[in-house]
Amino acid sequence: MSTASYCPNTPEEIRAMLDAIGVASVEELFRPIQPALRAKSFDLPAGMSEFEMLHKFQTMAGNNAQHLVHFVGGGFYDHLIPSVVDHLAGRAEFYTAYTPYQPECSQGTLQALFEYQTAICRLTGLAASNASLYDGGTALAEAALMALRITGRSRLVIDGSVNPFSREIVRTYLASLDIELVEIEPKVGMEDDIRLRAAVDDATAAVIVQNPNFFGCIEDLAGAAQAAHDAGAVAVASVNPLSLALLKPPGECGGDIAVGEAQPLGLEMSFGGPGCGFISARQEFIRRMPGRIAGQTLDAEGRRGFVLTLQTREQHIRREKASSNICTNQTLMALRAAIYLSALGPGGLRRAAELCVRRAHELAARLARVPRVKVPFPGPFFHEFVAEVPHADRVSELLLEKGFLAGLGLQPCYAGLRNHLLLCCTERHSPADLEAFAVALEECVKRAVA
């Protein structure tokens, strides 16, 4: 089929554009590109009608595994989402809106961002939040850069129980900078305060920890923050926002910057994205924050209004004054988070978090009675925990055949944790799901070790 069928421009329009730039033909336009780099042709299939294409996609989607009961977490979580989130976020004035380059004309969008920022500040116990970042991993990297700007130092200390995928993003951000990144080998299950303090010195810009950590365990944020402050460094906490309905917020534990992934707050898993990174900080650091900050003000007639108070990106201000080169935010995802939090309210959010904790602890107690299965890490945890399972890879394959997606294997990220699975429970899991999984796991372990 001719590629011209896919081109929105008519031959007349193409001719007019070529004449305007003084080029005789499309071939002449692309002549500076080496022939070896040019596509000779596009092998495109014949066109389909709308209904043929819909049928094709439905058939392809039917190949996906359906109705799996899964216990995978590790940063993205399967939570219940009230229908009001989809209904309001799907309104055309929100769903089709792009970045407000004339922001004061977009009062609805600015108010939604202001409400989102307010919610993040209340959850984290810190004074200022921006209008969102790409995801939790890049938010952590931006917090690291922010700490470097605040202190003027060139060394970062990050605990090894911080999400390994986020740590990889931090390493990528710092790859071309003359910055020393010290990654502490984690004490199994929980951060070791002695190791953390030993790694911090007067050149350290920030101490970065996660709570709950990647293994699901609850950390001592106050101790980590004190270790940072004793050395004149900034304390950065990566947190699960849903856990803050139960746990003391990082701002009350001495944290200076809090980051995380807002996906648990009304965002679908969607095969891994899009997410929504959040970042909040103490008031004195507000001008060091990346991205945009929506603010509340009064107009000339005394009416309440909203503005973009700060835009610390190089598109808007001189590059040398920019705090980051981040070029967008996740407005639609931040809107979903704001709607979710408003719909649940403080009581509903706490109830959801309590259900997650209850289900996870019920499953851990049940698995501890399965022969050959261990729950090795002591201490309190939120809604994830580690289970040691013999022949974990094979057991996971067998469980998949029974309709269960077992936890995340830890060996690729932690070489010493072979045959360890990170399991997650949320409020979506029923007691019947937990019992069925435990029974299936016991059967699959017997088959794997036979």
CB-based contact 46:1 (threshold 8 Å): yes
- 99/425 Cα distance (integer angstroms): 36
Q: How far is CA 326 from CA 44, 151, 238, 298, 401, in A?
A: 36, 21, 19, 29, 43
pLDDT of residue 2: 46
Residue segments in the chain with a per-residue pLDDT below the cut of 50: 1-4
- Cis ω for the linkage preceding 274 (within 30 of 0): yes
pLDDT at res. 292: 86
Query: Do residues 385 and 375 lie in contact, with contact meaning Cβ atoms separated by under 8 Å?
Result: yes
What angle, rounded to 10 degrees, do the helices at 392-401 and 431-449 form?
120
pLDDT tens profile 284-326: 999 899 888 999 999 889 999 998 888 765 556 666 666 676 7
CATH top-level class of 69-79+345-449: alpha beta
Give the per-residue pLDDT at 249.
98
| Residue 187, C-beta contacts closer than 8 angstroms, at least 6 positions apart | 195
Q: Where in the chain is the domain with CATH 3.90.1150.10?
A: 69-79+345-449
In this structure, how many other beta carbons lie within 10 angstroms of the beta carbon of residue 238?
28
Indicate the burial class of 358 (C-beta count within 10 angstroms; 0-12, 13-18, 19 or more).
middle
Instruction: Note the pTM of the prediction, 2 decimals.
Output: 0.86
* pLDDT given for residue 319 in this prediction: 64
Contact by Cβ (8 Å): 18, 29: yes
Report the percent of the chain where pLDDT is more than 70. 92
330-to-41, 264, 361 alpha-carbon distances in Å: 37, 15, 34
Q: What is the pLDDT of residue 45?
A: 82
Q: What is the CATH number of domain 83-341?
A: 3.40.640.10
Q: Where are the alpha helices (DSSP H) in 216-330?
A: 221-230
